[in-house]
Amino acid sequence: MRGRKKWMVLVVLSMFMVSALLIGGCGKKEEGDKAGDEAGLTGTITIAGSTSVQPFSEVLAEKFMQDNPRVQINVQGGGSSQGITAAVSGAADIGASSRELKAEEKGQGLVETVIAYDGIAIIVNPANKIDNLTREQIRDIYLGNITNWKEVGGEDAPITVVCREAGSGTRGAFEEIVMEKQDISNKVIIQNSTGAVASAVAGDKNAIGFVSLHALNDKVKAVKVDGVEAKEENIKNGSYKISRPFIYLTKGEPTGVVKAFIDFVLSEEGQKIMQDEGAVPVK
Amino acid sequence: MANYPIVQNKEKARGNVFSAGGFYGRKTPVRGKELWVEKVLMLSASLFILAILLITLFIFAKGIPLIAKTGLTDFIFNTEWNPTKNKFGIGTMLVGSLAVTLGALLWAVPLGLITAIFMAEIAPVKVRDVLGSFIELLAGIPSVVYGFFGLIVVVPFIRDNLGGSGMSILAGAVILGIMILPTIINISRDAIRAVPEEYKINSLALGATHYQSIWRIIVPAARSGIITAVVLGMGRAIGETMAVVMVTGNATIIPDSILSPVRTMTSNIVLEMGYAAGDHQAALFATGTVLFVFIVLLNLIINISAKAGIKNAHR
């Protein structure tokens, strides 16, 4: 009895292994064929720069390398300034920036391609009557200088300020655009995901928070900033101020495999990926 | 048995009937199998120890360099945490962990102890069984569910009735208290049940009432077990993460009231691990290192207090 059982186990196991080998082998073969069909796309691309663009570049690179197995893309961080420098010096094939270039950085043979926008909505509870805040007011709220809604024209109630954790890209963008290098008060409530911020604001009628534009839902209300509604088209035309462009920089017009990659990023598929990851597509 | 003298000798030498093939009255091939089983058991035990050693080594290797760079006292007692600007002080979180844990113990220990006494000494068997299964249920609920309950029920309740944002030490203490109740109840109940029956009988014979016997004789005799229960509950409270992150608000401030939001050490790690890099990540590991040392110290306290308790009991 025992002997037979063992034998059965062995048979089943070996069947598993054989089928695994077969499936694995087939998969490899298919990939090889596909690469042959794409003919020619080989090479290495180095992308360096903004840590806010980095996660997007990584996802895009991953997909591109999947489609073109002979292309190797290295994505590095370092910050927008470093990305610009690297693009000028040629240390990186593509420099990534999450801010507009300053006057002295323009020129130098750099070609800017805006690949997407990043928009941040300022949200309050739907029960809150406030529907417009200025950037100064938002900054003062997050600095802890304004602590009551009546100071910005609302009811007499303390403001519950909700914020993302240190290191979050959304917080980084918010600090950059709204806080103007001043530190967010350490009294604020910290939530570590966009969803958690939204639900904290949805649950507390005195709360304020900020989330990526794509995370807006009808349980929270996005306020106008300086009178402009947080909408994709207002971000694209530049009137909504709490937004920033994601820019790829190349030394001269992109060519070869770099051009192929940027074309892929701007293609419907690439833009869809950006949108899924939380950016506002350019197209 | 007499046919296998070697087996018998070995069995005697180890003083363990289960380790030798002879116990089952099987023939020699079984003995070979037994040896294998022993080796496998030994291997899994060593793997377990190896895993613990590796984890310890890893936490310390990742955390110590940053503590050394910041300075131990500065890291632990500085209250400024601004990792993107290289300010790493977990003072506020140390206070936060202690405040939430203490708050939980403050109400869960008396309640747990009284429930344990009730279950061990007073409750009829049926009530005791029902209570017991409820406590088991309580122990089996995942912590994220407690956190969700806190977020949906406790936080709004505090916000509407006591003011503030609701995300507070109080909310954390309420949720953690519920979570450590099963630990406190189960262990102190077992400790109370383990008190020799004669103590109670003698006490009653001397004319003490049942309640006097419980408070003056049984509970003091079970003291070391009850202390273990409290310390284990405390360990669970300090180590709990998910539920706490959801209800305490996670602000890095020294709290000025129980309605103020706080961040605990565990929350700090789970909050910021997602995007942390470089020194920031190292600082989170360093937070883990401090927490690790903290919990090892707690375990030492358990052992010492348990030993002291045994000595006292023998006096």
Record the tokens describing residue A256, joined without a space: 């070869």
Record the tokens describing residue A178, joined without a space: 């709204």
Nearest Cα to Cα of residue A177 among A114, A237, A254, A121: A121
Based on the fold, state whether residues A169 and A268 are members of the same structural domain: no
Interatomic CA distance for residues A270 and A246, integer angstroms: 14
CATH number reported for the structural domain that contains residue A172 in this entry: 3.40.190.10
- B251: chain A residues, CB-CB within 8 Å: 186-190
- B264: chain A residues, CB-CB within 8 Å: none
User: Using the 8-state DSSP alphabet, how is residue A214 labeled?
Assistant: G
Comparing A193 with B168, the larger pLDDT belongs to B168
Residues 27-46 of A with CB under 8 A from B: none
Q: Determine contact, residues A249/A96, Cβ cutoff 8 Å.
A: yes
Residue A131 lies in a domain: yes
Residue A229 lies in a domain: yes
Based on the fold, state whether residues A124 and A203 are members of the same structural domain: yes
**pLDDT computed for residue A10 by the predictor:** 62
**pLDDT computed for residue A18 by the predictor:** 54
Point out the least confidently predicted range of A21-30, A64-73, B178-187, B225-234. A21-30
- B92: chain A residues, CB-CB within 8 Å: 186
* Long-range Cβ pairs for the range B43-48 (8 Å, 24+): none
Question: What pLDDT digit, counting tens, does each position of B111-135 carry?
Answer: 999 999 999 999 999 999 999 999 9
Based on the fold, state whether residues A57 and A139 are members of the same structural domain: no
Question: What pLDDT digit, counting tens, does each position of B246-263 carry?
Answer: 999 999 999 999 999 999
Based on the fold, state whether residues A231 and A254 are members of the same structural domain: no
Interatomic CA distance for residues B192 and A142, integer angstroms: 53
Q: Name the phi and psi angles at A34, rounded to 5.
A: -60, -45
Asked if the Cβ–Cβ distance from B275 to A167 is below 8 Å, we say yes
Asked if the Cβ–Cβ distance from A183 to B85 is below 8 Å, we say yes
Residue A218 lies in a domain: yes
**pLDDT computed for residue A19 by the predictor:** 56
Q: Determine contact, residues B115/B102, Cβ cutoff 8 Å.
A: no
Delimit the domains of chain B by residue range.
4-70, 76-314
- A204: chain B residues, CB-CB within 8 Å: 156, 159, 165-166
Residue A110 lies in a domain: yes
> Residue A94's domain spans which residues?
43-117+245-281
Based on the fold, state whether residues A113 and A169 are members of the same structural domain: no
Residue A59 lies in a domain: yes
Nearest Cα to Cα of residue A119 among A51, A182, A169, A60: A169
A167 contact B CB<8A: yes
Single-letter residue type at B111: L
Q: Which CATH class is domain B76-314?
A: mainly alpha
The chain B residue lying nearest A207, using CA atoms, is B165
**pLDDT computed for residue A44 by the predictor:** 92
Mean pLDDT of B77-90: 89
- Pairing of β A160-164 and β A189-191: parallel
Comparing A102 with B179, the larger pLDDT belongs to B179
Nearest Cα to Cα of residue B90 among B230, B232, B294, B278: B294
ipTM value of the model? Answer: 0.74
Asked if the Cβ–Cβ distance from B280 to A167 is below 8 Å, we say yes
Based on the fold, state whether residues A112 and A126 are members of the same structural domain: no
Based on the fold, state whether residues A125 and A112 are members of the same structural domain: no
Q: Determine contact, residues B119/B189, Cβ cutoff 8 Å.
A: yes
Beta bridge partners, A121, equal A211
Q: In tens digits, what is the pLDDT along chain A, a chain of 283 residues?
A: 455 666 666 666 666 555 555 554 444 444 434 444 445 688 899 999 887 788 889 999 999 999 999 999 999 887 788 888 899 999 999 999 888 787 878 878 899 999 999 889 999 999 999 999 999 999 999 999 999 999 999 899 999 999 998 877 788 889 888 998 788 998 999 998 888 899 899 989 999 999 888 778 889 999 999 999 988 889 888 899 898 889 999 998 998 999 999 999 999 999 999 888 878 888 7
Based on the fold, state whether residues A129 and A113 are members of the same structural domain: no
Based on the fold, state whether residues A127 and A231 are members of the same structural domain: yes
Residue A30 lies in a domain: no
Nearest Cα to Cα of residue B178 among B100, B266, B82, B256: B100
Based on the fold, state whether residues A231 and A130 are members of the same structural domain: yes
How many domains would you assign to chain A? 2
Asked if the Cβ–Cβ distance from B251 to A207 is below 8 Å, we say no
Domain boundary among A236, A257, A273: A236
Is residue A119 within a helix (H) or strand (E), and if so which, with residue range? strand A110-124
pLDDT band at B58 (very low <50, low <70, confident <90, very high): very high
